[in-house]
Amino acid sequence: MIKIGIVGGTGYTGVELLRLLAQHPEAHVEVITSRSEAGQRVVDMYPNLRGHYDALTFSVPDAKTLGACDVVFFATPHGVAHSLAAELLDAGTRIIDLSADFRLQDAQEWARWYGQPHGAPDLLPQAVYGLPEVNREAMRDARLIAVPGCYPTAVQLGLVPLLEQGLADPGQIIADCKSGVSGAGRGANVGSLFCEAGESMKAYGVPGHRHLPEIRQGLQRAAGEVVGLTFVPHLTPMVRGIHATLYARVADRSVDLQALFEQRYAAEPCVDVMPAGSTPETRSVRGANMCRMAVHRPQDGDLVVVLSVIDNLVKGASGQAVQGMNIAFGMEETLGIAHPALLP
Amino acid sequence: MIKIGIVGGTGYTGVELLRLLAQHPEAHVEVITSRSEAGQRVVDMYPNLRGHYDALTFSVPDAKTLGACDVVFFATPHGVAHSLAAELLDAGTRIIDLSADFRLQDAQEWARWYGQPHGAPDLLPQAVYGLPEVNREAMRDARLIAVPGCYPTAVQLGLVPLLEQGLADPGQIIADCKSGVSGAGRGANVGSLFCEAGESMKAYGVPGHRHLPEIRQGLQRAAGEVVGLTFVPHLTPMVRGIHATLYARVADRSVDLQALFEQRYAAEPCVDVMPAGSTPETRSVRGANMCRMAVHRPQDGDLVVVLSVIDNLVKGASGQAVQGMNIAFGMEETLGIAHPALLP
Amino acid sequence: MIKIGIVGGTGYTGVELLRLLAQHPEAHVEVITSRSEAGQRVVDMYPNLRGHYDALTFSVPDAKTLGACDVVFFATPHGVAHSLAAELLDAGTRIIDLSADFRLQDAQEWARWYGQPHGAPDLLPQAVYGLPEVNREAMRDARLIAVPGCYPTAVQLGLVPLLEQGLADPGQIIADCKSGVSGAGRGANVGSLFCEAGESMKAYGVPGHRHLPEIRQGLQRAAGEVVGLTFVPHLTPMVRGIHATLYARVADRSVDLQALFEQRYAAEPCVDVMPAGSTPETRSVRGANMCRMAVHRPQDGDLVVVLSVIDNLVKGASGQAVQGMNIAFGMEETLGIAHPALLP
Amino acid sequence: MIKIGIVGGTGYTGVELLRLLAQHPEAHVEVITSRSEAGQRVVDMYPNLRGHYDALTFSVPDAKTLGACDVVFFATPHGVAHSLAAELLDAGTRIIDLSADFRLQDAQEWARWYGQPHGAPDLLPQAVYGLPEVNREAMRDARLIAVPGCYPTAVQLGLVPLLEQGLADPGQIIADCKSGVSGAGRGANVGSLFCEAGESMKAYGVPGHRHLPEIRQGLQRAAGEVVGLTFVPHLTPMVRGIHATLYARVADRSVDLQALFEQRYAAEPCVDVMPAGSTPETRSVRGANMCRMAVHRPQDGDLVVVLSVIDNLVKGASGQAVQGMNIAFGMEETLGIAHPALLP
């Protein structure tokens, strides 16, 4: 049994982590922290967990208790993992960070986008970007995993096959992404109200969203060169799901893109390349640790359209975090996260 | 491994059954039938199941193939199980019927509500009503289980504790029920369109809904006398979930209703009596085989209000069917259906 | 042209009032106040009003400016109208209060439910309850109108025909009500988030909701005797709409209820008794100042079921406020609020 | 008073047309046809119209009755207007066609995309494309107006300012569009069910959607040259609304795009260029005959992103049809369609 701690477990990625870990045969959640809810029972806040975590109570974060865990998940706003990571690592505890704290390798870039200095630049060398499909080897035995963001997961998985092969013009990548409202978290913001986000669609963050540098970093790693990326996220009236519609120019129209994608992901348990002509629905991955995608070249032109869908809370956050834990601890990679999506 | 057949697997209870059985360690789906979709791969219709049932293809119903199964689930419109049940039972195959065919013990009553003669009245004596919380013993080794309807499950579980104890006036029961749209099935009806059922609420079936006699039968069994029931179902703009708001008059205001309900369901793995004052949300059971409830007596009056929620496709259909299979085959009752609900 | 002031115009009843008044040929909004948004243009907060109120800016409430208006609408939390009403009335300005401040005639009762002393008990004698269908004559030339709450509107209109005629047992009234989320206002509360209220249904306020005494007061006025009322509101995953399902016992089953309701409301422009057997949808009144209803007696029993739907922001708030203004100022009652509902 | 006929009034564009015309001071609907619903009262099908069209009944289409109207709107599937148009035009009746029958000037192209021969190619010379913002003069006194499709309206309005000025590379236009489900009509298709389209997002028609040639025709007219267009529509879980996210490359980064767009539409009553930095929401135009848009150039690159939103049933269909009628009959252009959008 792996002893697990969760820091900041009151948000949506926290409750989703608990849901997934409840089905994981090797996981036991020892401690879950929340300053604001300390003393409250987890199941009083999340009744869906009644019967699964009846004895678990939110506690004030405490390095000693956390340090006694084998692994600690951070489901916190940015900045928190920066301040606690070193101490936990010293205690021999592994860290799987669902926040943005260790996703960017460049501390300057991080500071620019997050508006504050990077709090733990010396830990960056050991931070491993936790996208198994591109970085699995580095994740084995990793002690500090930075779980990718939701948009970055959907976008990178959809574009990496093209960029790795040098097939797409790296200067003209467009990612038009649609996200369910849970991506905005459980904070009490007017913009996330049912009556604000419901029955409506809008773009946001057009001048620059914090996931942009993360996506660009990943695409550049795959392409081996500078990537020109336009990223436009949209708020969609659904709870879960990201639909990334990706546009790239290909010079060589003779390439069999369907075969390329199928081969690239043939051995991947959490990526599903759908048959040619498919249009994946976000609900086909609801609750599942899966990225489904389809590749199109409309009217046989030079523009490739990749459709890539994930559940932002699972493959885009908590599920991918568990996948990372499984890899880091040498367990079966899909242990506890192999169940099918909930449809309808 | 239990060899499983599913008749009529293209609807929502069918795909939900497949989802649940994919996580069941003792179940193997051997055959799934659909006249209209014969020859089509299941995963082409339900991409959420890709990777779980890749080899499974809809076939034309065939008594011989079905008869080779240990158990056959019917996820069909009413009338179909009537016509196939006898032959399968003769072949030694057990039947778990999710349709309404064997729910009413009175064949005349069935004929009145369904507008056609009962097709298998001679099988009624061996048909076992599959609500474990009131009928578990009869379900052990049952060969023909009639899985309760969705509304009847939520309503009976909420009222049985009162009626069994003779605490409620049986002549004045009101069940005001709200159901998600998936309760209407996957049929292409105008009334179930997104633009008809969305962003709106309405009652339906006020003069008499087919679940009324089933509920009444169950309540009368619990009360041991005639029950006067008013049942008003409402269509609610959500995919899954039933919220039953139940009203009953109690003569004796001194009874500790909270204790009564807690004791009644103390040993039940799939019923959760929430703390006093709670108001259960349907999403707290989404995807889970669970009925959560709370009991209120507003302003200390003589009217008891019970709030009872289920996922209509799980505890109200496919999950309860698997629970019935587990009981009938002598397995752990919650095997494969113990996972927590998906929230948010 | 009637010169109009609006106090507290940033919430949903405020924007709805602006939308309706934009179509009113005799209305001109002179001033709109908001302490928190003072200085901001209205159309920057509510882009749907661009082109209609481009010059209007939120200002700090000021008695002199407001006192120069012919009428001031309060779209504020409770307590605000208490503190400003006297001064405005003295200035000769009429008040139409959408808050709860003057709905209850009993100041003690008000204090009990709102947890603070009534701030203007001496004004209660001149406060007119603004439900035209029961109180139209008193509303003519009224100087202080208390616009009914949303639930109270739907419930009273549905039950008044029975209670006025002494047909229903006043001791056994049940109002099972379902409301869209906009009824909770535009406040940034976790419970109103898209991911909390979406795809789910729950009851709330079961022990006692603040609309209970208002409904009871109205029903008692109609019945001429004490009324025993159970009121259970539910949060429904839609933006607008209230569906009230009302239960009452009738002693005399020979009464033609359909005729009774049709006659009661024959001359009412904002109540629509639908044909026998109908089940009104909330969307059939979306955006319209209309209450549609249908009356049922299931299985010819002694329980009457009235289905009554309104748009909580229109007939349940801002539309009814405009209707009140039209009556008070001697204008055509439906001036500016006669447009049909938006469907789908 | 203009005498109006509507052919095929049972769909969503039909009921929306009726809603808008009910508020139009110069319009009177004389006849509405539907083969399937002949004899049924309109208000029985659409209760939101009760009180507005109580005497109107669906009738079988009849050239004589229709020919007695001043104008006939076609709210029909493609092909119907082809067969009736000539006779009506001969009778002196004007036609406003909401279907696709006369949108493409090239009959061969039409036949290719609609899979059947064009039924009235000789009428094409007098068919006027009814997008007032680019074709107003031709619409005056027009006898046959082809109302643009919903996607084509949102996309053309968003791109025309760039293309008219030769600012965008015409070979690299991308239109990533998101539509509410009402765009799919009121047909009983499985894909439009609440439980299929709800809580999910997907692309469709990626290889080629019927609106593609219409958009291309319009863009080419504006650009004066061949346009290379990639159009990817998506089904979004909301009832109404289209959000077009448009991507174009501009060579000259020094152009003030905000000023360009504001000037282009300064005199347009139904286009609203929002302030720089805005992200228009579809709900800001719900029910209104308005296109709101914002123009962005992320990170000061050479890719322009235009965000353009309409209500697909209003500016994308019935509202634009009324706007066309107003122009053709020499009335105030926004007569009856000037009301603000419904928000929330």
Using CA coordinates, name the residue in chain A closest to D191: A281
Q: Is residue C140 part of a domain?
A: no
Dist. CA B177–CA A14, nearest whole Å: 32
How many folded domains does chain A comprise? 2
- Tell me if D249 sits within 8 A of D168, measured CB to CB: yes
Q: Is residue B317 part of a domain?
A: no
Same domain, C294 and C225: yes
Same domain, B159 and B125: no
Q: Is residue D209 part of a domain?
A: yes
Q: Is residue A340 part of a domain?
A: no
Dist. CA A129–CA A183, nearest whole Å: 20
- Ranges of chain A with pLDDT below 50: none
Same domain, B161 and B251: yes
Same domain, C158 and C119: no
Dist. CA A181–CA A188, nearest whole Å: 12
Q: Is residue D106 part of a domain?
A: yes
- End-to-end Cα separation, chain D, in angstroms: 34
- pLDDT, mean of residues D100-114: 98
Using CA coordinates, name the residue in chain B closest to D184: B195
Q: Which residues pair with C272 in a beta bridge?
A: C292
Which residues in chain C are contacts of B245 at CB distance < 8 A? 176, 203, 232, 234
Residue range(s) defining the domain that contains residue D281: 151-313
pLDDT at residue number A40: 97
Check if A58 contacts B (Cβ < 8 Å). no
Same domain, D309 and D197: yes
Check if D115 contacts A (Cβ < 8 Å). no
Q: Which residues pair with B128 in a beta bridge?
A: B145
- pLDDT, mean of residues C18-24: 98
Cα of A14 to nearest chain C Cα, Å: 14
pLDDT at residue number B194: 98
Q: Is residue B85 part of a domain?
A: yes
Composition of chain B by helix, strand, coil, percent to 5: 35, 20, 40
Phi, psi of B71 (to 5 degrees): -150, 140
Dist. CA B23–CA B34, nearest whole Å: 23
Q: Three-class SS of residue B152? A: helix
Check if D199 contacts C (Cβ < 8 Å). yes
Same domain, B267 and B303: yes
Summarize pLDDT for C104-122 with one digit per residue, the tens.
999 999 999 999 999 999 9
Same domain, C70 and C198: no
**DSSP 8-state assignment for residue C192:** G
Positive or negative CA dihedral for B112, B114, B117, B120? negative
Q: Kindly report the CA angle at D205 between D204 and D210, in degrees rounded to 5?
A: 140
Dist. CA A251–CA A238, nearest whole Å: 37
The last residue of one of the domains, among A69, A97, A129, is: A129
Q: Is residue A207 part of a domain?
A: yes
Does pLDDT of C9 surpass 90? no
Same domain, D160 and D124: no
Check if D191 contacts A (Cβ < 8 Å). no
Quick one: tokens of C30? 């002179």
Q: Average model confidence (pLDDT) for chain C? A: 97
Q: With bands split at pLDDT 50, 70 and 90, how would you rate the model's confidence at C237?
A: very high
Same domain, D194 and D94: no
Enumerate residues 6+ apart whose C-beta is below 8 A from B122: B86
Does pLDDT of D251 surpass 90? no
Cα of C281 to nearest chain D Cα, Å: 9
pLDDT at residue number A9: 86
Residue from A286, A311, A342 whose CB has the most chain B CBs within 10 Å, to mutate: A342
Same domain, D63 and D165: no
Cα of A268 to nearest chain B Cα, Å: 11
The last residue of one of the domains, among D129, D159, D180, is: D129
pLDDT at residue number A209: 95
DSSP of C124-187: GGGEEE--HHHHHHHHTT-SEEEPPPHHHHHHHHHHHHHHHTT-B-TT-EEEEEEE-GGGG-S-
Residue from A109, A173, A206 whose CB has the most chain D CBs within 10 Å, to mutate: A206
CATH number of the domain to which C164 belongs:
3.30.360.10
Check if B190 contacts D (Cβ < 8 Å). yes
- Tell me if B156 sits within 8 A of B215, measured CB to CB: yes
Instruction: Pick A9 or D157 by higher pLDDT.
Output: D157
Positive or negative CA dihedral for A222, A223, A228, A233? negative
**DSSP 8-state assignment for residue C341:** P
| Selected catalytic residue, list C150, C177, C270, C291 | C150
Phi, psi of A235 (to 5 degrees): -90, 125
Dist. CA B102–CA B108, nearest whole Å: 12
Check if B36 contacts D (Cβ < 8 Å). no
DSSP of B261-315: HHHHTTT-TTEEEPPTT----GGGGTTSS-EEEEEE-GGG-SEEEEEEEE-TTII
pLDDT at residue number A251: 85
pLDDT at residue number B30: 97
Helix C150-164 to helix C132-139 angle (10° resolution) is 100
Cβ-based contacts under 8 A for chains B and D:
56
Cα of C243 to nearest chain B Cα, Å: 7
Dist. CA C7–CA D65, nearest whole Å: 53
Q: Is residue C92 part of a domain?
A: yes
Same domain, A243 and A111: no
pLDDT at residue number A118: 98
Check if D315 contacts C (Cβ < 8 Å). no
The last residue of one of the domains, among C94, C129, C164, is: C129
Q: With bands split at pLDDT 50, 70 and 90, how would you rate the model's confidence at D9?
A: confident
Contact D193 B199 (CB under 8 A): no
pLDDT at residue number A264: 98
Give, for all 344 residues of chain B, the pLDDT tens digit.
Answer: 999 999 998 999 999 999 999 999 999 999 999 999 999 999 999 999 999 999 999 999 999 999 999 999 999 999 999 999 999 999 999 999 999 999 999 999 999 999 999 999 999 999 999 999 999 999 998 999 999 999 999 999 999 999 999 999 999 999 999 999 999 999 999 999 999 999 999 999 999 999 999 999 999 999 999 999 999 999 999 999 999 999 999 988 899 999 999 999 999 999 999 999 999 999 999 999 999 999 999 999 999 999 999 999 999 999 999 999 999 999 999 999 999 999 99
Same domain, B296 and B202: yes
CATH number of the domain to which A16 belongs:
3.40.50.720
